[in-house]
Amino acid sequence: MFGTFNRIVQSSKIAFHLSYKSSKKLTILITLLTIINGLFPSTLVWIGKLIIDSILNSNMILSSWQDILHSDTAIYVYLEGIITILYFGSQKLYFLCTTLLRIKLGQEVNEKILSKAITLDLTQFENSETYDQMTQARSEASSKPLSMVNRFFTITQSSITIISFFGLLVKLSPLASLILIIAAIPTFIAETRFSNHSFRLFRWKAKETREQVYLETLMAREDNAKEILLFNLGKEFLNRYKLNFQKIYSEDKKLTMKKSVVSFFLGLISQLAFYGTYVWVISLALEKKITLGEMTMYLVIFRQGQSTFANALSAFGGIYEDHLYIENLMEFLNLPILQKFGKIKFQNRKSGIVFDSVSFQYPGSKTDSLTNVSFELGSGDKMAIVGENGSGKTTLIKLLTRLYTPTTGAIYLDGINLIDWEEESLRKRFGVIFQNFVQYQFKVGDNIGMGDVNQVQSEEQWIGAAKLGMAHDFINRLDLKYHTRLGKWFQDGRELSGGQWQKIALSRAFMRSEADILILDEPTSAIDAEAEMKVFEHFREHTLGKTVILISHRFSTVRMADKILVLEQGKKTEWGDHDSLLAKKGKYEKLFRLQQAGYQ
């Protein structure tokens, strides 16, 4: 019990800290308005009582409108009107401030989530539990801190109102104040009981909700439309979408119906308490023990007080639910950042790359993706990696770029273990094109410039990289050249062919002019064989002195490499140049002859 209370207090501190950090002025102003708005209801109830009593006690004969407008009753009415206007204005200002704070606080929290996301390791991104945590944090937690802050303000405002009501009820009976409190407790029980169930359901739905979003994306994205139309997949995906929704909805429905039934019966208790008090107050008025104005005041206090107290207790229950969501947010934000090894930033002697008995197993997998792979590649040499799909080629590249860390064995760059290199310095040495490179929905220049974040806006660098990537000519034929927006997500976006996109990606790799190791994972799969030869002849000419690692299924390109690594089911089976591997009559020779026969 106390542990839960302490956790709620900690979550509350986090929520208020985020609120204050996102806007100091708005948070302070909302706090002041909360206090002021808490005093208005009791003030208006008291003035209402004075108006009724002044009418009943008035002995004046009012013969004209002027007499009426200057009477005590009229003065009370004027005062009530002024306070009502102030109350209305204060509520509107409160709503305005909370709306603005919601926007700023949502941005503050989302920035924290995204700032955390960009520090995660690739293995964490590929972990479904971590991805679910991030999805939950983004989908709900960005609004929950403000919800918790608002609920605290609601409790504060309600408390001020209730305390002022208690002051007015003391004259009637201290017991009346106790009845007012007890009558609201059943609603609190109902709210608190279901808060934890609601959050558990939210966490359970993470996988189903993610699948729902994925199905929406499949059916609504232009890059999926061709295959969906050709294979008539639309109805299949829509049926899956409906079935998934029914699964989510059935659980939501069960919880909602159960909550409604329980809330109804517990709410009856509150209503019975109110109407019992109602009868008691009326009997006191009939016995002339209280005035008609006092009777009206007490009945209004009981009705508003009960509602106000119920709102405060409901806010308490909601705070518990918000606390659970905020804990989920903090659970994600506090995910450990995997240790960034190494401090070495530079090495004068370039000796190349060494894989020493490297094995790697993906988290959760029972088999190795790479097993005991060893080779040496000299600085400035060109290496091709050959193997069937799933043989471990891309995994090897991810290990070399330290997106993954070997399960066993070690990788050396210029005689230094990769884990001893400072991460940013290491990454600067690589220019990489992955097979599934990102097609940014930005302008052409930005797409190229992303290869070097320090030069991302340099048009001179764009042009130089595009010439090396053989993209400059077709870019100049675009309407706005390097300022043409690509993709169809935005108005006036221009779509490119697969081969043109690959030239953009190749240019992006050349953008990193300081990189002395270029890695190309199927960089020309969308380009015809003749164009590919031209690309690689050009590429070889402009990468003199640089180490190049190429993954390709086209042996017309592979044969140009100084060294060729053959992988089979994650194991190194052959190593050498083109001629020596042909002479071995092994896997490489078999694949080469098969492809050669296809061109005859």
Lowest mean pLDDT: which of 66-70, 348-352, 517-521?
Answer: 66-70
Neighbours of 287 (CB within 10 A): 8
Mean pLDDT of the 19-30 span: 87
Spatial distance between the Cα atoms of 190 and 574, rounded to a whole number of angstroms: 69
Helices (H), 452-598: 459-468, 472-476, 498-511, 529-541, 555-558, 578-584, 587-598
pLDDT in tens, 246-260: 776 776 677 667 766
Q: List C-alpha distances in Å: 250 to 191, 194, 242, 254, 487.
A: 21, 17, 12, 6, 39
Assess whether pLDDT exceeds 50 at residue 349: yes
pLDDT of residue 313: 67
Neighbours of 462 (CB within 10 A): 28
pLDDT of residue 86: 92
Lowest mean pLDDT: which of 55-69, 81-95, 428-442?
Answer: 55-69
Assess whether pLDDT exceeds 60 at residue 62: no
pLDDT in tens, 142-176: 577 777 788 888 878 777 877 777 777 766 666 66
Spatial distance between the Cα atoms of 309 and 242, rounded to a whole number of angstroms: 42
All residues at 6 or more sequence positions from 44 whose CB lies less than 8 Å from its CB, including other chains: 80, 83, 84, 87
List the 353-360 sheet strands across, edge first. Answer: 416-417, 408-413, 353-360, 370-377, 571-576, 563-568, 382-386, 547-551, 517-521, 430-433
The dihedral formed by the CA atoms of 526, 531, 536 and 542, expressed in degrees to the nearest 10 = -110
Spatial distance between the Cα atoms of 452 and 44, rounded to a whole number of angstroms: 65
Q: For the purposes of burial, counting CB atoms within 10 Å of the CB of 116, is it exposed (0-12), middle (13-18) or buried (19 or more)?
A: middle
Mean pLDDT of the 86-111 span: 87
Spatial distance between the Cα atoms of 381 and 399, rounded to a whole number of angstroms: 19
Instruction: Please give the helix or strand (H or E) that residue 167 lies within, else none.
Output: helix 144-169
Assess whether pLDDT exceeds 80 at residue 519: yes
**pLDDT band at residue 194, thresholds of 50, 70 and 90?**
low
SS3 per-residue string spanning 198-240: HHHHHHHCHHHHHHHHHHHHHHHCHHHHHHHHHCCCHHHHHHH
pLDDT of residue 218: 67
Mean pLDDT of the 400-418 span: 87
Helices (H), 453-497: 459-468, 472-476
Three-state DSSP at 470 gives coil
As a whole-number percent, the residues of the chain with pLDDT over 70 amount to 76
Q: What's the one-letter identity of residue 259?
A: K
403: closest CA among 385, 379, 378, 430?
430
Structure token digits, residue 389: 């799909």
Residues 424/597, Cβ–Cβ less than 8 Å: no
Helices (H), 287-357: 292-333
pLDDT of residue 204: 47
Residues 442/462, Cβ–Cβ less than 8 Å: no
Spatial distance between the Cα atoms of 322 and 7, rounded to a whole number of angstroms: 12
Hey, what domains does the chain have and what are their CATH numbers? Answer: 2-333 (1.20.1560.10), 350-429+516-600 (3.40.50.300), 442-512 (no CATH)
Q: List C-alpha distances in Å: 161 to 22, 41, 88, 104, 422.
A: 29, 7, 16, 29, 60
Helices (H), 368-413: 393-400
Structure token digits, residue 385: 């990696």
Spatial distance between the Cα atoms of 522 and 599, rounded to a whole number of angstroms: 20
Mean pLDDT of the 280-289 span: 77
CA 208 to chain centre: 17
Mean pLDDT of the chain: 77
Residues 535/467, Cβ–Cβ less than 8 Å: no
Q: List C-alpha distances in Å: 444 to 440, 485, 501, 505.
A: 9, 6, 10, 11
Residues 340/423, Cβ–Cβ less than 8 Å: yes
Q: List C-alpha distances in Å: 240 to 159, 202, 222, 243, 313.
A: 49, 20, 20, 5, 41
The answer, as to whether pTM is greater than 0.85, is: no
Q: Higher model confidence: residue 174 or residue 105?
A: 105
pLDDT in tens, 323-343: 777 777 887 888 777 666 778
Residues 99/32, Cβ–Cβ less than 8 Å: no
Assess whether pLDDT exceeds 70 at residue 566: yes
Mean pLDDT of the 503-514 span: 81
List the beta strands (DSSP E) in 319-381: 353-360, 370-377
**pLDDT band at residue 93, thresholds of 50, 70 and 90?**
very high
Instruction: Please give the helix or strand (H or E) that residue 189 lies within, else none.
Output: helix 174-204
pLDDT of residue 201: 47
Cα angle 294, 299, 305 (rounded to 5 degrees) comes to: 115
Residues 390/571, Cβ–Cβ less than 8 Å: no
Q: Which of 437-451 are b and which e, b meaning 16 or more Cβ less than 10 Å from the residue's Cβ? A: bebbebbbbbbbbbb
pLDDT in tens, 129-145: 777 777 777 766 657 77
Structure token digits, residue 513: 């002019």
pLDDT in tens, 412-456: 988 888 888 888 888 888 888 877 778 888 888 888 888 877 777
pLDDT of residue 525: 61
Spatial distance between the Cα atoms of 287 and 289, rounded to a whole number of angstroms: 5
pLDDT of residue 85: 92
Spatial distance between the Cα atoms of 463 and 456, rounded to a whole number of angstroms: 12
What are φ and ψ of residue 221, in 5° steps? Answer: -95, 140
432: closest CA among 413, 445, 451?
451
Q: Higher model confidence: residue 467 or residue 541?
A: 467
pLDDT in tens, 200-209: 545 545 566 6
**pLDDT band at residue 1, thresholds of 50, 70 and 90?**
very low
